């Protein structure tokens, strides 16, 4: 505190400018890092959605095969295909929903960076007053 009292106003303003520049640089690095993490989450969610879509396509083929077999024989092998098709369809729905949930915009906002910027703005206001 004694050091602050001995410095002139231009020195204090220069120090404030230097500190704010450093703070903004660190904040931008934090934002870049967090956005990069969120992009990775989005890529993973997209992969899950694609996997779910592929499973649903396979399920459709299996279910169509099951319908054909069931209608052709009315009993027997068709029911086995139907059970497999329903199981693959359920798996596909689960994967698509998990991917969609992970890709929701609320999961992609850089929350830590936003909180830190708010704290820094509040701290800067306190320093000025």
Q: What is the 3-state secondary structure (H, E, C) of 40-77?
A: HHHHHHHHHHHHHHHHHHHHHHHHHHHHHHHHHHCCCH
pLDDT 10s digits, 104-114:
777 667 777 77
User: What 3-state class would DSSP assign to 34?
Assistant: helix
pLDDT 10s digits, 77-98:
777 777 777 887 898 899 999 9
Rounded to the nearest angstrom, the gap between the alpha carbon of residue 65 and the centroid of all alpha carbons in its chain is 37
1 pLDDT higher than 70: no
Compute the average pLDDT of residues 8-24.
84
Band of residue 102 on the pLDDT scale cut at 50, 70, 90: confident
Query: Is this model's pTM higher than 0.75 or not?
Result: no
């Amino acid at each position: 505190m004694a050091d602050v009292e001995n410095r002139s106003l231009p020195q204090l303003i220069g120090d404030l400018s230097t500190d704010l520049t450093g703070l903004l640089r660190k904040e931008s690095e934090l934002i870049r890092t967090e956005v990069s993490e969120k992009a990775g989450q989005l890529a993973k969610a997209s992969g899950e959605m694609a996997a779910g879509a592929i499973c649903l396509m396979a399920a459709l083929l299996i279910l169509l095969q099951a319908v054909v077999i069931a209608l052709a024989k009315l009993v027997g092998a068709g029911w086995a295909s139907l059970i497999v098709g329903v199981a693959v369809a359920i798996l596909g729905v689960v994967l698509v929903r998990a991917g969609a949930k992970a890709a929701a915009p609320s999961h992609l906002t850089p929350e830590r960076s936003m909180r830190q910027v708010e704290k820094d703005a509040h701290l800067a206001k306190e320093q000025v007053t």
